[in-house]
Amino acid sequence: MKKELLIATLAAGLTGFAQAEPAPDLAAAAKKLSAAKNYTWTSSSSFGDREPRVTSGKVGSGGHTLINYPIRDSSIEVLIRNGKAAIKTDDGWQVADAEAEGDENRRLRYLARIAERYEAPTVRVTELIAKIGELKVEEGRYSATLSEEAAKEIMSFRGRGRGPDGGQREAPQISGASGSVKILVKDGVLTKYELTLNGKMTINNQERDISRTSTVEFKDVGSTEFEIAEEAAGLLSKSSDS
């Protein structure tokens, strides 16, 4: 009897499931991260064999989010609050305006729309966890394979947005969707996740193979501090009041 019990215990340990119900623990780790008043994050996205695009940001206790967006061979500093954005330019800070006219203001329109639909990375990972089915966990490292439906839903959502004319893009059609996710938890707080998606996406009758890996890492949770330019904060305050 003791021998059978020992064998059963060893078999359970070799399955890769360190806990009977890892999902609640993972949800709690994500909730703890979301509840943090401030944190620093880095997001890296790679498409196929292309060089990854890296975006970094800091979330402050006052509701301000400071982000460095990659722009070609450089980056641009953007301060976001309450769906509004201020952009750091060579001539100082400027409010992003979705209604700004002219080709020279294309970037202002683009960043204004990003600010309007900006979603904190802590919200994204919480939504992702809700789509995960069976989880494997070992020493704080969680992994799972996404169902075709879940992978398709994520790809469809991220594929939407506004077209060049500012109108809503046609919803993409997805086929052969698959995906996987890896999540790292340390000291009860979610610190990193990696999402891989594959499939075919059809937009405007053009089919494209999609192979994308996104990695988001969180650090200095609860201890992130950064200076907010008075000029930028003032512009956002005026913009919110108007």
Q: How far apart are CA 111 and CA 10, in angstroms?
A: 54
The pLDDT assigned to 6 comes to: 36
Structural domain count of the chain: 1
Backbone angles phi, psi at 191, to 5 degrees: -120, -15
Q: Where are the alpha helices (DSSP H) in the chain?
A: 2-14, 22-34, 106-116, 121-130, 148-159, 230-241
Q: Would 26 be classed as within a structural domain? A: yes
* pTM of structure: 0.79
Q: Would 6 be classed as within a structural domain? A: no
Q: Would 10 be classed as within a structural domain? A: no
- Containing domain of residue 147, as a range? 19-241
CATH code of 178's domain = 2.50.20
Backbone angles phi, psi at 185, to 5 degrees: -120, 135
| Predicted confidence pLDDT, tens digits, the chain (242 residues) | 444 433 333 333 333 333 446 688 899 999 999 999 999 999 999 887 777 889 999 999 778 999 998 877 788 899 998 888 888 888 888 888 887 777 767 777 878 888 888 888 998 888 888 888 888 988 889 999 999 999 998 888 644 444 444 555 566 789 999 999 999 999 999 999 999 999 998 877 888 888 999 999 999 999 999 998 899 888 888 776 65
